[in-house]
Each structure stands twice: as structure tokens, then as C-alpha cells.
Amino acid sequence: MTTASALNLLDLLDQRRSVPARQLGEPGPDAAQLEHLLQAAIRVPDHGKLVPWRLLAIRGGARARLGERLAAIHAQTEPAVAPSALEKDHERFNAAPLVVAVIARIEADHPKIPAQEQLLSAGCVAYNLLLGAQALGFGAQWLTGWAAYDGEVARELGLGANERIIAFVHIGTAKEPAPERARPALADVWSEWT
């Protein structure tokens, strides 16, 4: 790796921002961009080469259908839910043209690879999607919300017993510049063990 490319990578990290999903719109990645993004995203640490994750695309009309299912599930499990919460469920996936569900596939009783390492590998895939989308000129946001932890939603999306959603990564074109937020001071999170 050359110094120039290392600087470019550090610039990307220095500029990393989440674009709120509601501020994302068309266009999303085309087929070639999407394939490149996904191929790059799965290049993560993976102890034991277990591939403890998979990716599920939610796009086109599937976004609205999933929103309808979320609202129905929410209303069934919480009959007194506020109409505004159900509207949020309906619209949850409608802004960004592409939502990638990152699904962790955990072998809880693996004799060598702890479940935490498998989960962290899946988390790296989600983070790589954020970085890769930004590198391609798109905005992205990693969200979960109640739907990521709900058993009925998991069944709706076809998850197996050993699978769980760790991220809904919303990807699209930012309608406005990504907001910056306060970041921790390095001195507050860095120390040295001696």
C-alpha cells in the first residue's frame, strides 16, 4: 500500500458520517456498484472462516410490503400503540432505495470460535457497507430498531433459529450533507497498559 492510498483511506475514515435514512433517496447503487460494494463488505475478519453472516436486500416494492408487515406486527403485539408509531413502521424502509439486512449466523456451541467473535465479524460487514457506500459517493445509515429484535419479523424475513438481524443498512443518495456529531476526545478513550 502506498502512502497516498493510506492517506486516502484515512481521509475516508476522517470524513465518515451516517446520513439519516429519511434523508436518503434515489438513485441507489446500480448493479455493478452494488456487486462491488457487497464484495468489499464481506472482506472482514472471520476466525475459522465460518462466514457467520449473510446479507438480505430489501428494495423496490419489498420495502413498502415490509413496512406494512411491521405495522401489522406492531399493532398485534401492542394494541394500544400510537398511530404515529405505526406510521413510522409503515415508512421505515421507504426512503433509501436499498436496505441491506445484515444477518448474523451464530454457531453458539462452536468448539473453537466464540459466539462474540462471530457476531463481531457480522458487525464488520455492516460497517464495511457504511464505508463502502460512502466511498462510492452514497450516503448510508446503520439502524436496528425494535424490528431487528422481534421474532415475528425474523420469521417474516426467513431467518433461521441461529440467525439474528444486527443491522438494517440504508443506502442511497444523500438529499443534503450528512450532519456531523460530537465525537469523543481521543484522550478520553485512549490509554496505555504498562
Q: What is the 3-state secondary structure (H, E, C) of the chain?
A: CCHHHHHHHHHHHHCCCCCCHHHEECCCCCHHHHHHHHHHHCCCCCHHHCCCEEEEEEECHHHHHHHHHHHHHHHHHCCCCCHHHHHHHHHCCCCCCEEEEEEEECCCCCCCCCHHHHHHHHHHHHHHHHHHHHHCCCEEEEECCHHHHCHHHHHHCCCCCCEEEEEEEEEEEECCCCCCCCCCCHHHHCCCCC
* pLDDT of 68 higher than 80: yes
Instruction: Look up the pTM and report it.
Output: 0.94
Whether 183 is in a domain gets the answer no
Residue 17 assigned as binding residue: yes
Whether 34 is in a domain gets the answer yes
pLDDT (0 to 100) of residue 7: 61
User: Across residues 65-82, what is the average pLDDT?
Assistant: 97
Residue 43 assigned as binding residue: yes
> What are the cell numbers at 97?
432505495
Residue 59 assigned as binding residue: no
Burial group, residue 130, by CB count within 10 angstroms (0-12, 13-18, 19+): buried
Whether 1 is in a domain gets the answer no
Residue 143 assigned as binding residue: yes
Whether 102 is in a domain gets the answer yes
pLDDT (0 to 100) of residue 156: 97
Whether 181 is in a domain gets the answer no
Whether 2 is in a domain gets the answer no
Residue 178 confidence class, pLDDT cut points 50, 70, 90: confident
* pLDDT of 27 higher than 60: yes
Whether 118 is in a domain gets the answer yes
Q: Please give the C-alpha separations between residue 161 and each of 49, 50, 94, 124, 157, in angstroms, as whole numbers.
A: 21, 17, 28, 22, 12
Question: How confident is the model over 85-106, as pLDDT tens digits?
Answer: 999 999 999 999 999 999 999 9
**Domain limits for position 102:** 18-176
Whether 86 is in a domain gets the answer yes
Our CA dihedral for 24, 30, 35, 38, rounded to 10 degrees, sits at 0
* pLDDT of 6 higher than 70: no
Domain total of the chain:
1
User: Across residues 112-119, what is the average pLDDT?
Assistant: 97
* pLDDT of 2 higher than 80: no
pLDDT (0 to 100) of residue 183: 93
- CATH number, domain containing residue 131: 3.40.109.10
* pLDDT of 4 higher than 80: no
Residue 84 assigned as binding residue: no
Percent of the chain with pLDDT over 90: 93
pLDDT (0 to 100) of residue 179: 83
Residue 155 assigned as binding residue: no
* pLDDT of 1 higher than 60: no
